Structure 1
């Protein structure tokens, strides 16, 4: 069937217009991610006003807010969150602004996500809450903040480890991790919850010679 010339022209113009619109939208959102990486809040606001989608994803599945969070750019993250960015939107490897800020100890951004609907039960690619990597990496104030926010202290990740276990197994036993172990104990973490192989936190601490952590655990009833 032959399509009339006028109809064909109409279809061509319509498709061209839609394609141009889609291309323009993609360009705005690519610029949004670039502006987030560069900390260009003025451009971010202009792009959002022009119709850029605030939770659009880049090739890695990241939103502009996650890009800003990875840069630990508080001002840019604040502008995006205030404009309605999703603090729980995950990328291709299951990082979200909330989870990433917690894991990396980006405390100011973490607090922003907590005050804007962070999902305390969300988990990363290892099946862990934000509290677990924060404990492993020695982010004392982050751990305290997450505990206060209500993150489950005895959550077990895909490795069979809790925040307490990671604060021992993957640490150097130094002052920061001693404070974290104490904070977890004070938050009523189960000091006898063993790993997947049945090794308890106390056994891990003793095998590594972490005497101060051992003392904290014994005082809390560990065995």
Structure 2
């Protein structure tokens, strides 16, 4: 998953995978796209509530797509226009659509470490556990990768699946280790997953458990978390 737009490159030698995980962009609207926006997308990006209300009253399509498959809700999420999100949701916009790169609004907010917008989307009924991205992951896996610990806690509270395995054969627990830096935020992320009851026996494609992966990286604090009685 992507931190503010760009995935970390993961080297095959470091992971022992025999493959390289390529960079994947979660693409917010570019300046040129924003300038070209009209109607619902323009109003959503700028949080122009009067215009958005007028469009809704006229029967405008609330799930119309831009050139990258983004709906007005996606655009409002990228722009952190929470009042526009509320208005779109109340008017019947679909909260769970995927854009062309297979992200939903929940994952967009999660990757952006935007806990406030995430909480709003969840309170409006957006799903916490959709399969998203070309890696068949989830918002929880994305947030765990990035060490967005508060987002992780909110997704867990909303019932996000703890043990989803993506097509790299990684869970949120594994991503918090192999794609993290072992620092405080990734430690808090792992602790939240452990406390929630994530399955710590699920291994990667090479059979490495989270504990083995943490030991191999010298992440002492994570090793202690995984060896603690609550982790068993």
User: Shorter-chain-normalised TM-score: which range?
Assistant: 0.7 to 0.9
Residue 59 of structure 1 aligns with which residue? 67
Gaps of 5+ in 1: 1-28
Task: State the TM-score, normalizing by the size of structure 1.
Answer: 0.82
- Kindly indicate which of the two structures has a greater share of residues assigned to helix: 1
2:118 pairs with 1:97:
no
Match of 1:16 in 2: none
Highest Rg: 1 or 2? Answer: 1
Matched with 1:8 is: none
Aligned to 1:119: 127
User: With structure 2 as the length reference, what TM-score do the two structures score?
Assistant: 0.79
Aligned residues: CA RMSD: 1.8
**Alignment match, 1:88:** 96
Q: Does the CA-based 8 Å contact 1:30-1:58 persist in structure 2? A: no
Name which of structure 1's ranges 175-184 and 89-98 shifts more when overlaid on structure 2. Answer: 89-98
What's 1:24 paired with? none
Written as runs of structure 1 = structure 2, the 5 A alignment for 1:1-150 is 30-125=38-133, 126-150=135-159
Residue 220 of structure 2 is matched in structure 1 by: 211
Residues 126-175 of structure 1 deviation map (CA, whole Å, 9 limit, x = unaligned): 11111000111111111111111111111101110000000000111111
User: Residue 178 in 1 paired to residue 187 in 2?
Assistant: yes
In structure 2, the gaps of 5 or more residues are 1-36
In the comparison of the two structures, how many residue pairs are matched?
195
- Give yes or no for contact 1:35–1:41 (8 Å, CA) kept in 2: yes
CA distance in 1, matches of 2:128, 2:83: 23
